[in-house]
Amino acid sequence: MSNQQVQEYKGVMVLPGEQEERRVTLALDKTEPSVGITFDEPIEGKTEWQSENLTVANRLKYDEVVFRTTGLPKEAIEVTWKFNSSLIDDSLAGVVIALPNDQRITGEKGFVLTRSN
């Protein structure tokens, strides 16, 4: 199995409900398709999450990806991730949005990552 279709993007981001930046790696697998998210420091005891309800749209200059995760930044919290991975350079720009919840975690946070492979 070849990993040529898996693109890793690295950088820092802030999650909804938090103030501190976290180092993150997003692994976009276009063959599955799937997205794996890995944080350098544990959040709620975990460092890795997998995309749920993933959609990928191939545009002329970028791939548009939308998915959800559960358990970020706290247990039972769902967030929606939306990002565009450029087909022209090594950038990925996106936003993570907290869905309505009873723990008062709200808002959306933008981020920019750089392809590392």
Q: Indicate the SS3 state at residue 117.
A: coil
Domains, the chain, with CATH or none: 6-115 (2.40.160)
**DSSP three-state, residue 107:** coil
pLDDT at 3: 53
In this model, does residue 1 exceed pLDDT 60? no
Q: Which residue has the higher pLDDT, 5 or 80?
A: 80
Q: State the pLDDT at residue 61.
A: 97
What is the pLDDT of the chain when averaged over all its residues?
94
Integer Cα distance of 47 and 65 in angstroms? 21
**pTM score, whole prediction:** 0.93
Cis amide bond preceding 73, omega within 30: yes
Inter-CA distances, 9 with 15, 77, 91, Å = 17, 24, 8
- 60-to-21, 64, 88, 89, 114 alpha-carbon distances in Å: 32, 10, 10, 13, 19
Query: pLDDT tens across 53-62, in order?
Result: 999 999 999 9
* 2-46 per-position pLDDT tens digit: 456 899 999 999 999 999 999 999 999 988 899 999 999 999 899
